[in-house]
Amino acid sequence: MILLASSSQDNLSRWEQGIRGLAPIFCSTNLDSVRGELVRIKPIILLLDLDLPKLDGPNGILGLMKLNPETRVIILSGTLSDEIEWSLFRTGVRGCCRGDIEPEQLQNVVQAVQQGELWIRRTLSWHLLNELVMITQEKNKIKQAVGELLANLTRREYEIATLVGNGESNKQIARRLDITERTVKAHLTEVFRKLDVADRLKLALIVKGSMPPHGSTSVGH
């Protein structure tokens, strides 16, 4: 099912003309109705007018997506700056196009998104790739910093830190390594000291590479 959402009847008629035959179509003309239909009919696609009253931009879109995460959202709007359009994609929308798009072209957009593709302008896809490069570089930095820190641990300490990273309790670790819980605690105290962390959750995050060690370059996502 495809849900069309706009307060403009002209928009709804034109969009409907473009996607007729692809799937059963439902229309909403206000935000409350969109919310209700997302839960009720669970559409595979939502064509959403960015000018829908009370939508409240990316925040509102995020709220709608939470109602049914499976629904793929395509935004239709007037001309947007790269920054605004990119902020929409960052909420998880799968496509953006102009509200006055030709019906035939809209059909292409919907079909592409239905097939798991992303409908994004080429100039924005450059942003997307740059972000991927940046994230990878940051992850590699964290990985390197973690590697350097973990190299300071003894073999046994490293073994225990890894098991903590896997979510094991002191009791489980003691049983697995055939040592006492008291010994596990003693090793962990030393691990915490060497890595400058206060608790096992932070240790687990560091071991998993999800968090930069204390004092290393911190990276914001």
Partner 1 sequence: METVTVAIADMDPGRRTRLEQSLQGGEGITVLTDIMAPGGGARIDGDFQDYENGSMEEVVAKIAQLKPRILFINLDQSIIGDFALLDALHRECPETLVVLLTDRSAQDEQIIQALAYGARGCLSHEADPCYFLKAVHVIDRGEIWVTRKMLSKIMDKVLH
Residue 119 binds partner 1, judged by CB under 8 A: yes
Whether the CA torsion 187, 191, 197, 203 is positive or negative: it is negative
Of the candidate residues 21, 69, 116, 220, the single one contacting partner 1 (CB under 8 A) = 116
User: If we measure between CA atoms, which residue out of 150, 164, 139 comes closest to residue 196?
Assistant: 150
The span from the CA of 145 to the CA of 163, in Å, is 19
Interface with partner 1: number of residues (CB under 8 A): 22
Q: Which residue's CB is nearer to partner 1, number 48 or number 65?
A: 65
Q: Which residue's CB is nearer to partner 1, number 84 or number 118?
A: 118
The span from the CA of 204 to the CA of 39, in Å, is 37
Site for partner 1 in 173-202 (CB under 8 A): none
The packing angle between helices 155-165 and 170-177, to 10°, is 130
Residue 69 binds partner 1, judged by CB under 8 A: no
Residue 219 binds partner 1, judged by CB under 8 A: no
Of the candidate residues 112, 177, 205, 219, the single one contacting partner 1 (CB under 8 A) = 112
| Minimum distance from residue 207 beta carbon to partner 1 (Å) | 20
Site for partner 1 in 121-140 (CB under 8 A): 122-123, 125-126, 128-129, 131-133, 135-136
Site string for partner 1, 43-62 (x = CB under 8 A): --------------------
The span from the CA of 23 to the CA of 18, in Å, is 11
Long-range contacts of 27-36, Cβ-Cβ distance < 8 Å, separation of 24 or more: 27/3, 28/3, 28/4, 29/5, 30/54, 31/55, 31/60, 33/5, 34/3, 34/5, 34/64, 35/64, 35/67
Task: Specify whether the CB–CB gap between 48 and 5 falls below 8 A.
Answer: yes
Task: Specify whether the CB–CB gap between 49 and 6 falls below 8 A.
Answer: yes
| Minimum distance from residue 90 beta carbon to partner 1 (Å) | 7
The span from the CA of 53 to the CA of 29, in Å, is 9
- Which of the ranges 50-58, 63-71, 119-127, 174-182 carries the binding residues for partner 1, by CB under 8 A? 119-127
Q: Which residue's CB is nearer to partner 1, number 54 or number 81?
A: 81
Binding site for partner 1 (CB under 8 A): 89-90, 92, 94, 112, 115-120, 122-123, 125-126, 128-129, 131-133, 135-136
